[in-house]
Chain A
Amino acid sequence: MITVESLTKTYASFTAVDDVSFVCQPGRVTGFLGPNGAGKTTTMRIMVGLTNPTHGRVTIGGHLYRDIPNPGRHVGVLLDASAQHAGRTGREILGIGASTMGLPTSRVDEMLALVSLSDEEAKRRLRNYSLGMKQRLGIAHALLGDPSVLILDEPANGLDPAGIRWMRGLLKGYADRGGTVLLSSHLLNEVELIADEMILIGRGAIVARGDKESLRAGEQHKVTNVTSLDNTLLAKALDAQGYAVTAAGGGLRVEAAPVDVGRVAADNTIVLSDLRSADGGLEDLFLALTSDTQRDDTPAGAQP
């Protein structure tokens, strides 16, 4: 279990993390989601003692990280898969990790097999690794000491879709055996696939938290894309009901909930071939929640 208690980190005039508190439960995969520069990495660095907090603290399994003897045996950490000597082979990197933790070399082979790095790949130097291979090696390194807590910063970055599916299976299995997993990402769909629980952070502060369902419950579907066999008639009918209608591709875009659009179609016996909410689900929620923390405004011309 990871417990973050009113954590704050300020650099000169810049507040990287602003009074953040949350708990990662054992047996769950917790996703830490936010745009670039939101404070995810800083929070994780504080967790493992690489950065000192200005205020607040983090305990892992009830202990401060720096009080854990041989911490690699309890907490698996991957902060940056590229932060290894580029001239070492993958196998040597794991060998050094295993040796530091006092583990037998056989552990290296087990981990290489677990993350599907072949013997030939393990003999290559890190500078010749693709980002996906580095991530696999980094996950292997985090798992070396058979820890009960995993802290992974952007672990899916650079993995292909098959790799993301593999990691989801790995982390789900790990959590099912009672492990605690915290992973960060700036991509919602990655986290959505893997995490049971989500914490959304923007400009250093938590903007929302909960599981997928409870986050979705707050959504309001107000825009609908609809296609029917007689779009002209449907548009007239919707217009008569006072809904704003615009043509969109082969169909219509209506400022109304899908259920209202369906009712109008039924009343006028128009056959619908497609009816769905135009709000992008969690993605829109994510953007809405972090919109005031985004660096970029969507230019006027690019708006739908």
Chain B
Amino acid sequence: MSTTVTPVTPGTIDLSGTTQVSMLQLSRVELRKALDTRAGRWFAIAIVGLVLLVEVIYAVTAPDNAKDYGDFLGIAGFVLGYFMPILIIMLVTSEASQRNGLVTFTLEPRRARALVAKLAAGLLLAAGVMVLAAAVAVVGTLLGSLTGGSPVWSVDANLLFNGFVLANVVGVFIGFAIGTLLMNTPAAIVAYFAYSLILPIAVGILSALSSAFEKVAPWIEFNTAQVPLFTGDYTPSGEEWAQIATAGVIWMVIPLVLGTMRLLRIEFK
């Protein structure tokens, strides 16, 4: 409030001295927003805590010949993959549910920039949680060796990339798609559980009843299609990649496009 306003021409604002906020800065702010509320921070901590808990249980109960670092990493990736989308959903939907989108999109009226910043923040957050989970898997493996295992520390590159990184990045985009489509925190979380829990069960039942449907299922159901990423040799075959691609278009790409279009247009109240 110390500035005296001296316009060049009366009534006009000189913009020559102002530059856009950088994408880096916007992404940093979005990352901060993901973790500066109790809900966001504790959910992130709870995910890592849950990974730790599952690792401990596995270390105690698993057979000694299945206590390699790769086993623990796979489990960490599976637990993470389940909850990562919710973290992203909260990051996206709080703009509408908590109404701070009014401020976010007033300070950055070019909404596409704010959206990209949010996605970048989501991916960064996911990367951070993945690193933590990989560290927790180290703890799990050490615990496994204490309880009788003689772990192999080397990790199959396919497991690391397909089962851990790729599956979780897909989770980020799924969360982003559901979040932008529904723009309401509780509704989006319910929808996510319907997608990740109820849908595969329904598909499983239908597949058991009809062998024709069983053949079609991995092409149209994304959870089923992704199974080869974190099972077997962690390397989907050509056909399995094609299934991931087609199911991914249906469940990830199309919702993501529609959700983005919606976010760019809706009136934040």
Q: Do A and B come from one complex?
A: yes
Asked whether, in the complex, the Cβ of B106 is within 8 Å of the Cβ of A177, the reply is no
Q: A101 touches which one: B6, B21, B32 (CB < 8 A)?
A: B21
**Chain A: minimal CB distance from B227 (Å):** 37
**Chain A: minimal CB distance from B8 (Å):** 10
Asked whether, in the complex, the Cβ of B103 is within 8 Å of the Cβ of A178, the reply is no
Interface stretch of the complex, out of B11-19, B205-213, B232-240: B11-19
B3 within 8 A of A: yes
By a CB distance below 8 angstroms, the chain A residues around B108 are 100
B268 within 8 A of A: yes
Asked whether, in the complex, the Cβ of B29 is within 8 Å of the Cβ of A26, the reply is no
* Interface residues on chain B, size class: 35 or more
By a CB distance below 8 angstroms, the chain A residues around B100 are 83-85
Q: CB within 8 Å of B: which residues of A?
A: 1, 3, 25-26, 45, 48-51, 60-63, 65-66, 68-74, 77, 79-80, 82-88, 92, 96-97, 99-102, 110, 114, 141, 143, 146, 148-149, 173-174, 177-179
Interface stretch of the complex, out of B33-41, B176-184, B191-199: B33-41
CA distance in complex: A178, B4 (Å): 7
B254 within 8 A of A: no
CA distance in complex: A100, B121 (Å): 14
Helix, strand, loop or mixed for chain A's interface?
loop
By a CB distance below 8 angstroms, the chain B residues around A26 are 5, 7, 10-11
Interface residues of B in 104-147 (CB under 8 A from A): 104-110
Take A70-B21, A86-B98 as given contacts and tell me if A63 and B11 are in contact as well, using a CB distance cutoff of 8 Å. Answer: no
By a CB distance below 8 angstroms, the chain A residues around B5 are 26, 148, 177-179
Asked whether, in the complex, the Cβ of A62 is within 8 Å of the Cβ of B11, the reply is yes
Asked whether, in the complex, the Cβ of A99 is within 8 Å of the Cβ of B28, the reply is yes
B61 within 8 A of A: no
In this complex, which of B5, B11, B13 has the most chain A Cβ atoms within 10 angstroms of its Cβ? B13
CA distance in complex: A149, B110 (Å): 20
**Chain B: minimal CB distance from A136 (Å):** 14
Asked whether, in the complex, the Cβ of B13 is within 8 Å of the Cβ of A174, the reply is no
**Chain B: minimal CB distance from A146 (Å):** 5
By a CB distance below 8 angstroms, the chain A residues around B10 are 1, 26
B202 within 8 A of A: no
**Chain A: minimal CB distance from B1 (Å):** 6
B26 within 8 A of A: yes
Some 24 contacts from A to B, beta carbons below 8 A apart, are: A48-B106, A48-B109, A62-B9, A62-B11, A63-B13, A66-B110, A68-B18, A69-B19, A70-B20, A71-B107, A73-B18, A74-B13, A79-B102, A82-B99, A83-B102, A84-B99, A85-B33, A85-B100, A96-B36, A100-B107, A100-B108, A146-B2, A149-B13, A178-B7
B65 within 8 A of A: no
**Chain A: minimal CB distance from B18 (Å):** 5
Q: A50 touches which one: B13, B25, B267 (CB < 8 A)?
A: B267
By a CB distance below 8 angstroms, the chain B residues around A65 are 109
Number of A-B contacts (CB under 8 A): 126
B94 within 8 A of A: yes
By a CB distance below 8 angstroms, the chain B residues around A110 are 1
Q: B103 touches which one: A51, A74, A141 (CB < 8 A)?
A: A141
**Chain A: minimal CB distance from B247 (Å):** 35
Take A80-B99, A87-B37 as given contacts and tell me if A1 and B11 are in contact as well, using a CB distance cutoff of 8 Å. Answer: yes
0/1 per residue, B63-102, Cβ < 8 Å to A? Answer: 0000000000000000000000000000000100011111
CA distance in complex: A219, B188 (Å): 56
CA distance in complex: A71, B12 (Å): 14
CA distance in complex: A173, B32 (Å): 34
Asked whether, in the complex, the Cβ of A83 is within 8 Å of the Cβ of B3, the reply is no
CA distance in complex: A82, B5 (Å): 29
CA distance in complex: A148, B8 (Å): 13
Residue of B nearest to A62 (CB): B12
Asked whether, in the complex, the Cβ of B1 is within 8 Å of the Cβ of A100, the reply is no
Residue of A nearest to B268 (CB): A50
Apart from A45-B267, A62-B11, A85-B33, 8 more pairs, CB < 8 Å: A25-B11, A51-B267, A62-B13, A83-B99, A84-B98, A88-B36, A148-B13, A149-B13
Take A99-B29, A141-B103, A177-B4 as given contacts and tell me if A61 and B11 are in contact as well, using a CB distance cutoff of 8 Å. Answer: yes
Asked whether, in the complex, the Cβ of A50 is within 8 Å of the Cβ of B106, the reply is yes
**Chain A: minimal CB distance from B228 (Å):** 40
Asked whether, in the complex, the Cβ of A96 is within 8 Å of the Cβ of B32, the reply is yes
